[in-house]
Structures are given as C-alpha cells and as structure tokens.
Amino acid sequence: MKTKIETQETISIHDFDGKPFRLRLIEPDLANQKKAVITHYLHHSDSGVAKHFKKEAEKAIEEYVLYKNEEEHLSILAEDARQQFLFEVNDIPFPAPKDYKFNFIDLFAGIGGFRLAMQNLGGKCVFTSEWDKGAQKTYMANFGETPFGDITKEETKNFIPDGFDVLCAGFPCQAFSIAGRRAGFEDTRGTLFFEIEKIIEKHRPRFVFLENVKNLQAHDNGRTFNILIDILDKKLGYKTYSAVLNSMTHANIPQNRERIFIVAFDRKRVEIPDQFPFPGRIERTKKIRDIIDSRKQSDIFYYTEKHPYYMELKDKITSKDTVYQWRRMYVRENKNNVCPTLTANMGLGGHNVPLILDDYGIRKLTPRECFSFQGYPKEYILPPCANSKLYTQAGNSVTVPLIQRIAEKILRFL
C-alpha cells in the first residue's frame, strides 16, 4: 500500500508549465487546459460549480500523479496532489469572497482587472479565459486560477458553466484602435465579438458588461458599432446602454484613458431602466506623484547620454510633475498633469513610451507604476517576466476603479 509522501515540495500546480510534462502530451496546449480545469475545480470545491469541472479535473490529477511517480520514482497519491494543489490555489493575495452575492465569467480576462473589481463587490468568478501565456501567469499569481485558452474553440466554451449572472469581457480592441490598423470585423481580433455572441445566446446571463476602445463607436462611420448593438438588442433581446468614460475624470486615476463601456440587460429577467445610470464625473484627488516611485530605480529604466535622442529628451523633459510621451521622433508633454494613455506597445521601444524626470535622471515608467496607473493595488503580484510583457499587460488592461464604479450601478438591478 502506498503511503503519503513526507514532503509536499515535490508537488506543484506549476509542474504543468514544465517542458518535461508538456513533452509527454500530444498537444502542448493540453497542459495549460489541464491546469485551468484543475484550478477552476479546486476553487469551487465547496460549491455546486465544482461538478462541472470534476470529471476532467480528476482525470488530469491522475495523469499528473502517474507522470510524477514514473518520471521521478515517487509514490504520490491523487489525494496528496489534490490537497497540495488546493493549498496553492488558495495561497493568493486576492481570493474570491466566501459569501458571494453574484457570480460572473471573465472573458478575454487579461491580468484580471474585471475580476478584481467584481470580487471587490462580492462577486465570484466561475470561468476565466485568456489566451496570452504571460497574462495567464499574472492572473494565476494573483487569483490562483489559470484561465482557459482559445475561446474560439468549442472545447473551451464547453467548460463554461450554466447559471452565471454577469458576462464580463474586455474583448480585444486593437482591431478598432486609432493606434492600430482599424480593420474592425475584417481583423480576426474583431470577429471575437461573435464568440461573445455565441456564449450569450447559449447561457443567457442577466447582464453583459463590455469594454473597448473609444474608436469602436466611430469605426467604419459607426457601422461596426451598430452591428454590435443590433446583435445584442434585436437578435439576443438585450437592452443595451453605452458611454465613453475617462479614467482621469470618472475613476480618480491620473491617466487620460477614454474607453467605451457597453452594458446590456436581459429583457426577460431584469427590470429595464429608461436610461442606465453610468457613473458621473468625480473629483480627481490622486496626482501623478501619488503613483510615481520617488526612489532610485534600476539603471535599465534610465536614458543616458549614449542614447541617440538624449539631448532632445533633456531639452524637453524638464518638469518632475508631468508624464511625457516619446513619439518615435519627438517628445509630447501631457498638459493635464496626468499620464497619457498607456498602450500595449509601450514596452517595445520607440513609440508611445511614457517618460518622467526624477531626482536621478530621465527614465521610463516601471511596470509597477504602469499597473498603478491602471488602479491595481500595491499588493498585486507581477510575476518574473520580461518587462516588455508586463508593459503590454498593463496597456491592454482595464482601469480597475472605473470598472468597479460601473459594476456598482449594474448590481443595483441584480
């Protein structure tokens, strides 16, 4: 008879990320799916949602145990692995509320901006999807849950449980962005809205909560936006409301970030208001200096005289109370004393790079500062990762306090 292992250090949910385990599988992406189904299962072990993931999760745990015992000559029991995994997924900075008031799903989840806001209001997430591997790691580090991957695959959508209240989705915006190609529905990323449509049609959540770039409203002379609204309203039967809000005027966050928000109510299940009460403007008490770290940062963030544009930077970047922006060949100063819009490509070099002057020189914002300009708390974990990836994650994210203010309005109708 096998005995329980004396140490649990040999067991970790992160083993699924290891190359040896992935090589064992026919499809490498299966390792991530197994990790996703196990973490979703364990997070709901005390509720009925667990049964939706149980069969696949227990199978994945058995496969893991078989791998560990064969490859490392151990004697691990499936229950040992389950208990250690349970400890790992619960040893996190942002657990779901035990006595939750509503549940939701988090599509195109990024690094968890929607989830953080909804949890703050008493919500419990029952399904998450995000295809970017770096964002998945950040999400796992903070919520103890690995998102499922490609939502266009039916096998992924089949893991969505029934009976959730709110569908949240900051669906990919590059297809509609002024900064991008603006191809809209002709772009693969633009067609991902139709995956949301399929999920709404099947599961009929009470509320739909979407976020995208401001330009979605004007793209293709408004035709793209009208198609989207017609699908929600006329085809799916949801009363829709939309508004363009700015983080610096509606969230007390010193970042000039305009985004369009769409809220949709199921006409058959929710009392429909004449107008949805989007949050109004509030006083901005937080300043740039409340977010900028005044300490000396790593040398990698500073510009030196060896940089070809150093003299241009030195000539234009003169105030310590402003976040500037490097635009390929020139410096642009933000006159509103806020950070310019953070973008997904700001860490790739050469364009849309936020710059500041501190006591030690001219430097880029750090990834931590970018996360703070999106309203993430200091306790939010930034896992070991290339800075360029972290910049992308911050630029693609939603502003958490703004999401929370809108969600508060939605939940009045729950």
- Enzyme catalytic residues: 173
How far is it, in rounded angstroms, from Cα 311 to Cα 21?
A: 51
The secondary element (H helix, E strand) that includes residue 62 is helix 50-71
Question: Which residue type, as a one-letter code, is found at position 268?
Answer: K
Are 324 and 341 contacting, i.e. CB atoms less than 8 angstroms apart?
Answer: no
3-state helix, strand, coil in the chain (%, to 5): 40, 15, 45
Where do we find the tokens 């969600």?
A: 407
List the structure tokens of 33. Answer: 């799916």
Are 246 and 284 contacting, i.e. CB atoms less than 8 angstroms apart?
Answer: no
Question: Which residue type, as a one-letter code, is found at position 163?
Answer: G
Looking at residue 376, the DSSP 8-state letter turns out to be -
The secondary element (H helix, E strand) that includes residue 29 is helix 29-43
- Residue 4, helix vs strand vs coil: coil
* 210 closest CA partner among 260, 174, 254, 250: 260
Q: Residue 316 class from Cβ within 10 Å (0-12 exposed, 13-18 middle, 19+ buried)? A: middle
Concatenating the DSSP letter of every residue in 137-186 gives: HHHHHHHS-PPB--TTSHHHHTTPPS--SEEEE----TTT-TTS---GGG
Concatenating the DSSP letter of every residue in 234-248 gives: IIT-EEEEEEEEEHH
How far is it, in rounded angstroms, from Cα 171 to Cα 197?
A: 12
How far is it, in rounded angstroms, from Cα 213 to Cα 222?
A: 13
How far is it, in rounded angstroms, from Cα 229 to Cα 244?
A: 15
How far is it, in rounded angstroms, from Cα 406 to Cα 404?
A: 5
Residues 6+ apart with CB under 8 A from 78: 58, 61, 62, 65
